[in-house]
Amino acid sequence: MTAREGLVTAALIAALALAALWADGAGEPYWVNMASRVAILALAGAGLNIALGHGGMVSFGHAAFFGIGGYAAGIAATHAASQEPIMTWPLTVEGTDAMPTIWLAAMGASALAALAIGALSLRTSGVYFIMITLAFAQMIYYFAISWPEYGGEDGLPIYARNSFPGLDTYDPLVFFGLCFALLIAALALTRMLMAARFGAALDMARLNPVRLATSGIAPYPVKLAAFALSAAITGLAGALLADLNGFVGPSLMSWHMSGELIVLVILGGVGRLAGPIAGAMVFIGMEVVVGGYTDRWQLVLGVVLLLMVLFARGGIMGALAGAPRHD
């Protein structure tokens, strides 16, 4: 990372935290929640960025993991409220409203789904991979719609926000703090991982898989592991979003959400550490600002996106921090 990119990254992180603190100080819980949304979308994007940016795997199905994480939170909370176990066979699993447990469950469930989907999808590449991840995500989406147990098409309300030991999660700023801390942890993990042997292997799996194989490392397991990790982080973000909204529904898993996640990663800058933060800020910013003038704000988003792809590649981080340096 160049010094300039480090500076921009630190500035973006600080800006997000300061925005939440300022809104809280000004007594504007609406804007604190908006900052939480930015942090959550950035976290989901940070997950996708591992697969998309570093691994070169264009997953058009990450909304499935986003949704699985959300449903993990919703299902655990529902069973905690009704005091009925989630399952009794082969072992009894009780519902819970403790966030740390829910987060682990969300990450575990998303990673497992990603292992299954990735094991099949990674047998192919390129366009095939895009279409297959999209199709599998759609399969999970239709399953969520047609399975009535957890709300089906209507979704699943979470009546009481899940709890974190020692904290009042109803306080918007506290909730933002949790999202923010997880975002920072995910970014730190990404940075550590990409600086390690695994990251070098993943980079090479994207750039030249044959060369990676000739140096004695099979690309397939490296990519699969990265895909599962990427899904776990996006799933964690889904659990947080479910808590923020007090609701989880199939729309979280729709193909449109997959597209939006890709958009915010690319808008921010593919494979850049702070890219998802910048992308989420601009995405939500456009929704708020342009959406304030017209209901058709996605038309503006489409035009901006199209112009960016055609004429200005590199995203926001490319504009702010220059070309990436590989070190």
Partner 1 sequence: MTAALIFEQLLNGVQLGVMLFLTAAGLTLVFGVMGLINLAHGALFMAGAFVCAWTAAQTGSFWIGLGAGTLAAAAMGAVVEILVIRRLYGRDHLDQVLATFALILIFSEGALMIFGAQPLWLDPPALLSGAVHLPGGAAYPIYRLAIIVAGLAAGGALWLLISRTRVGMRIRAGESDREMIGALGVDIAVLYTFVFALGAGLAGFAGAMVGPLQSVQVGMGEPVLILAFVVIVIGGIGSIRGAFVGALIVGIADTLGRVLLPMGFATIMPASDAASAGGALASMLIYLIMALVLAIRPAGLFPAQ
Residues of the shown chain interacting with partner 1 in the complex, contacts defined by CB under 8 A: 52, 58, 60, 120-121, 123-124, 126-128, 130-132, 134-136, 138-139, 142-143, 145-149, 255-256, 259, 262-263, 266, 270, 296, 298-299, 301-303, 305-306, 309-310, 313
Question: Least distance from C-beta 101 to partner 1, angstroms?
Answer: 27
Question: Least distance from C-beta 190 to partner 1, angstroms?
Answer: 19
Give whichever of 177 and 275 is closer to partner 1, judged by the CB atom: 275
Give whichever of 7 and 303 is closer to partner 1, judged by the CB atom: 303
Pair 64, 253: CB distance under 8 Å: yes
Give whichever of 244 and 252 is closer to partner 1, judged by the CB atom: 252
Question: Least distance from C-beta 118 to partner 1, angstroms?
Answer: 12
Give whichever of 87 and 120 is closer to partner 1, judged by the CB atom: 120
Give whichever of 87 and 306 is closer to partner 1, judged by the CB atom: 306
Which residue is associated with the tokens 């599962």?
228
Give whichever of 60 and 71 is closer to partner 1, judged by the CB atom: 60
Question: Least distance from C-beta 162 to partner 1, angstroms?
Answer: 27
